[in-house]
Amino acid sequence: METTVVDVPERGRFEVRVGDRVVGLASYHVENGLMTLPHTEVDPSMGGRGLGKALVSGVLEAARERGLHVLPYCSFVRHYIQQHPETLDLVTDDDKPHFGLATVDH
């Protein structure tokens, strides 16, 4: 089954789908060039398959394509950014200390 990440703006979220089934989501809000990411979740029965990482990767890729910076309030998103320093530039320098990302090296 194919895994896809789909933006559903009318619901304010990205969804990760396996085939036609929604198995996870990342809620977001965009304002003033910033994408706020407060929450992600994946169906616990689908855990361990990398769906959360695929979801966050898709969300951050969309933010980059749209020229947005992100506010990673969700701890899973913060952890992903820490593990993938190539995404660190999506958080403004002013916001990095707030999210504990100031000490991440490139």
**Domain at 21, CATH number:** 3.40.630.30
In a domain, 39, yes or no: yes
Query: What is the pLDDT, as a whole number, of residue 85?
Result: 94
Q: How far apart are CA 72 and CA 81, in angstroms?
A: 9
The number of domains in the chain is 1
In a domain, 85, yes or no: yes
- Cα radius of gyration rounded to whole Å, the chain: 13
CA-based angle 81:84:89, to the nearest 5? 65
Query: Quick one: which of 26, 31, 93, 32 has its CA closest to 61?
Result: 26
Query: Helical H runs in 1-106?
Result: 51-65, 75-83
In a domain, 50, yes or no: yes
Mean pLDDT per 10-residue segment, the chain (106 residues): 95 97 97 97 94 98 98 97 96 95 62
In a domain, 105, yes or no: no
In a domain, 104, yes or no: no
Which domain does 51 fall in, by range? 3-99
In a domain, 35, yes or no: yes
In a domain, 106, yes or no: no
Q: How far apart are CA 91 and CA 84, in angstroms?
A: 12
Task: Label residue 56 exposed, middle or buried (CB < 10 Å: 0-12, 13-18, 19+).
Answer: buried
